[in-house]
Amino acid sequence: MTYTLDYLEFSSGDGQGSQKFFAEAFGWSMTSYGPEYAAIDDAGIGVGIHSAAERGAEPLAVIQTTDLKKAVADVVAAGGVITKEPYDFPGGRRFHFREPGGNELAVWTSAEE
């Protein structure tokens, strides 16, 4: 099993403004997944802009794995605290956790795995 850092989510109080900024400043294109989420298509790694009311304040690093249940067990065994239990989203399942230094991260697996 591998763990690969492959996605970054930016929180935004103004999702449309953030999308416009990244498009104008860097020429990145977007794919909308509804009024509260857009993906940046060509930033070098996967990037999303999350503008829902319950979003966090900092960017969220997202780690990909092939075994979500094992990832939960590995995170907890290493001293991490689950902050959002595993849930489905378009394309897969993921959970959020806080590592001992206070950073929140997420782990996901694709729907095919």
What are the domain boundaries of the chain? 4-110
Find out whether 28 and 43 touch, Cβ atoms under 8 Å.
Answer: yes
Return the sign of the alpha-carbon dihedral for residues 46, 49, 55, 56.
Answer: positive
User: What is the arithmetic mean of pLDDT over 38-44?
Assistant: 92
Find out whether 39 and 30 touch, Cβ atoms under 8 Å.
Answer: yes
Amino acid, single-letter form, for residue 55: R
pTM of the predicted protein model: 0.80
Q: Choose which CATH entry (3.10.180.10, 3.40.50.2300, 3.40.720.10, 3.90.1200.10) describes domain 4-110.
A: 3.10.180.10
CA pair distance 86, 39, nearest whole angstrom: 21
Find out whether 59 and 9 touch, Cβ atoms under 8 Å.
Answer: yes
How many residues appear in the chain? 113
Task: Fill in the DSSP letter of residue 13.
Answer: S
pLDDT, mean over the chain: 90
Question: Lowest-pLDDT range, 13-27, 30-44, 54-68, 70-84?
Answer: 54-68
For the cut 60, the answer to whether the pLDDT of residue 113 exceeds it is no
Amino acid 1: pLDDT: 66
Name the β-bridge partners of 85. none
- Nearest Cα residue to 81 out of 99, 61, 108, 59: 99
Q: Which two tokens stand for residue 66?
A: 């092939």
